[in-house]
Amino acid sequence: ALKPTDTVLEIGPGTGNMTVPLLQQSKHVIAIEYDNRMVREVLKRVEGTAEERKLQIVQGDAIKTRFPFFDVCVANVPYQISSALVFKLLSHRPMFRCAVMMFQEEFALRLTARPGEALYCRLSVNTQLLAKVDQLMKVGRNNFRPPPKVESRVVRLELRNPPPPVDFTEWDGMVRLLFNRKNKTLRAVLMTKPTIRLLEENRRTQRALRGDSMDEEVEEKNAEQIIEEVVNMEQWKDKRASKLDLDDFLALLAEFNKRGIHFA
């Protein structure tokens, strides 16, 4: 629920159907709109009303625009920027209370997909690591004029506070690699020549940055041997990314890091 003290970030206000009620229930609305015609429509809609002074419109691309401070984000998201917008919100600081967004149905379902489900992917894992995601409602295509080809869903996203104690760049490096071929075993994905070469280079870089302080047993092994050892451990043998949950990925990354293997 909105509070009278809230600053709302609205992405893609269109003609202002949501903007007006948002203005009535909050302290301030900052609307980011790409289309100049829509900017004029929204401004015309509030002209001369009590809400006019509470509205600030930023014309521009939501992905390229630096977000201001806000408490709540509301967005009807075009498919082509859905993923980029979610990742931008997940990394936004200071933290906001929640984001309520409408996406195409398949994209919305990816956000909450579980291990073993067909839609489970890198987006699912990364979003669930950093946020709590709830499916709020389904919106049929007949609610729009003209009706689109696909159904939509409204989801709520709340950042985990405090955020998980993991280096996200490295986490995403591992997850991206494993989900490139999510139905292959971890061994099949990680034991390819390009991957071994990449991880060996990362390992050398990390050793140089650390001043070469790894213990001698690990020191003697190369990346290929270390990967082989990890993927043959009981808990990882014959496992596939498509069936691993957040705790599995966190444990896997910790095991690799402990042995000097890094994904960034």
What's the rounded mean pLDDT across residues 87-106? 96
Model pLDDT for residues 107-142, shown as the tens digit of each residue: 999 999 999 999 999 999 999 999 999 999 999 888
The DSSP-derived string for 53-106 is GGEEEEES-TTTSPP---SEEEEE--GGGHHHHHHHHHT-SSPPSEEEEEEEHH
Q: Using alpha carbons, list the distances in angstroms from residue 157 to 60, 145, 173.
A: 23, 27, 23
What's the rounded mean pLDDT across residues 247-260? 96
CA 166, CA 128: separation in Å to the nearest integer?
13
What's the rounded mean pLDDT across residues 215-230? 78
- Residue 116 tokens read as 């073993």
Contact 42, 31 (CB under 8 A): yes
* % of the chain beyond a pLDDT of 70: 97
CA 244, CA 222: separation in Å to the nearest integer?
26
Contact 241, 179 (CB under 8 A): yes
Model pLDDT for residues 162-215, shown as the tens digit of each residue: 999 999 999 999 999 999 999 999 999 999 999 999 999 998 888 888 776 555
Contact 125, 188 (CB under 8 A): no
The region of weakest confidence among 43-47, 181-185, 221-225 is 221-225
Give the closest residue to 235 by CA, choosing from 223, 250, 220, 257: 250
The DSSP-derived string for 197-254 is HHHHHHHHHHHHHHTS---HHHHTS-HHHHHHHHHTSTTTTT-BGGG--HHHHHHHHH
Give the β-pairing of 7-11 and 72-76.
parallel
- Residue 89 tokens read as 């919100």
